[in-house]
Homo-oligomer: A and B are copies of this chain.
Amino acid sequence: MDGRECERMLSVALEEARAGRAEGGVPIGAALFGPGGELWGRGHNRRVQDGDPSLHAETAAFRAAGRRRSYRDTVMVTTLAPCWYCSGLIRQFGIGTVVVGESATFQGGIAWLRRNGIKVVDMKSAECRELLESFIKARPEVWNEDIGVE
């Protein structure tokens, strides 16, 4: 998987993040791609929109992909490094690769994922970072709620 392919996948997650921002929600997006690079599911954080704390971007994309017998050679792309909840999802279901837009704002479980054999590609995207950082500045209490920080 080359850099251009990672960019293509990240662009879908970024569209989702922007949609979340437009709805007034936490601007984090994600998508799950199958072994051939085909889109299986995409989504964004829905805490604010649906009052649903269980739908982080990654779980929304996973949900949208529906029931699957295997996640071998799939790629989860997300605008932000996955938290423990979403890292646990990736490990449990054997998703092989995670492409993160950035991990500067929040590192989540990416070191743990790498230690457990999952490939993590960090795109160090300025756009992903600016999108989230401007939200955190405007709505710090919602961001803290979203990651379980009191």
Query: Which residues of A does B touch, CB under 8 Å?
Result: 47, 51-54, 59, 62-63, 65-72, 83-89, 91-94, 109, 141, 145, 147-148, 150
Which residue of B has the minimal Cβ distance to A62?
B54
Q: Is the interface of A mostly helix, strand, loop or mixed?
A: loop
Contact yes or no, A63 B70, CB < 8 A: no
Complexed CA–CA distance, A33 and B47 (Å) = 20
Which residue of B has the minimal Cβ distance to A53?
B67
Which of A47, A52, A72 has the most CB atoms of chain B within a 10 A radius of its CB?
Answer: A52
Which residue of B has the minimal Cβ distance to A68?
B53
Instruction: Count the copies.
Output: 2
* Contact A150 B62, CB 8 Å, known A54-B54, A85-B92, A88-B83: no
Jot down 11 A-B pairs with beta carbons below 8 A, ordered by A: A68-B145, A83-B88, A84-B88, A84-B92, A85-B88, A85-B92, A86-B88, A88-B89, A88-B91, A92-B147, A93-B148
Chain B residues near A63: list those with CB within 8 A: 52-54
Report which of B59, B67, B147 forms a contact with A51, defined as CB distance below 8 A.
B67
Contact yes or no, A148 B54, CB < 8 A: no
Shortest Cβ gap from A72 to chain B (Å): 7
Chain B residues near A147: list those with CB within 8 A: 92
